[in-house]
């Protein structure tokens, strides 16, 4: 089969839903680093991903847990710092709660990211 100028075997396409497959390989979360929970605290407009105030997501660098892909992409660099115990110079020494806003400013969703204690 030729797809956009590339030769692709039918066997390599069997796990792609748009080509009739029924599952995709999933990244396994190795469970390293600190656990982070994100809670929707504010919503202005209507979230196109369907998020509502009070929704919670248990995030890691390996698992977006249903959070909108655009928002996850936007917070990923900071999430990796939070998850692995790093800090930016402007953060307080013991800061464990962070607030971020969705990149969609017309339908603004605000998340509170919180580091869970073990």
Catalogue the E-assigned strands of 22-71: 36-44, 56-59
CA atoms of 69 and 115, how far apart (whole Å): 21
In-domain check, residue 106? yes
Domain contains 13:
no
110 neighbors 41 (Cβ within 8 angstroms): yes
Query: For 62-118, what is each residue's pLDDT tens digit?
Result: 999 999 999 999 999 999 999 998 888 888 777 889 999 999 999 999 999 999 887
Host domain of residue 68: 32-115
Phi and psi (nearest 5°) for 75?
Answer: -95, -5
Residue-wise pLDDT tens digits, 2-18: 555 555 444 455 555 55
Q: What is the phi/psi pair of residue 100, to 5°?
A: -135, 150
Residues 29-60: tens digit of each pLDDT = 888 899 999 999 999 999 999 999 999 999 99
Q: Is residue 7 part of a domain?
A: no
Global pTM? 0.74
Does residue 6 belong to any structural domain of this protein? no
Domain count within the chain: 1
């Amino acid at each position: 089969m030729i797809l956009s100028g590339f030769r692709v075997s039918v066997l390599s396409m069997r796990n792609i839903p748009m080509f009739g497959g029924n599952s995709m390989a999933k990244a396994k979360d190795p469970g390293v680093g600190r656990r982070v929970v994100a809670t929707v605290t504010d919503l202005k407009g209507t979230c196109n991903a369907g998020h509502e105030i009070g929704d919670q997501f248990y995030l890691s660098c390996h698992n977006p847990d249903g959070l909108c892909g655009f928002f996850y992409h936007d917070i990923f660099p900071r999430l990796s710092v939070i998850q692995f115990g790093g800090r930016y110079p402007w953060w307080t020494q013991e800061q464990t709660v962070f607030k971020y806003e969705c990149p969609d400013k017309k339908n603004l969703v605000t998340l509170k990211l919180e580091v869970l204690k073990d």
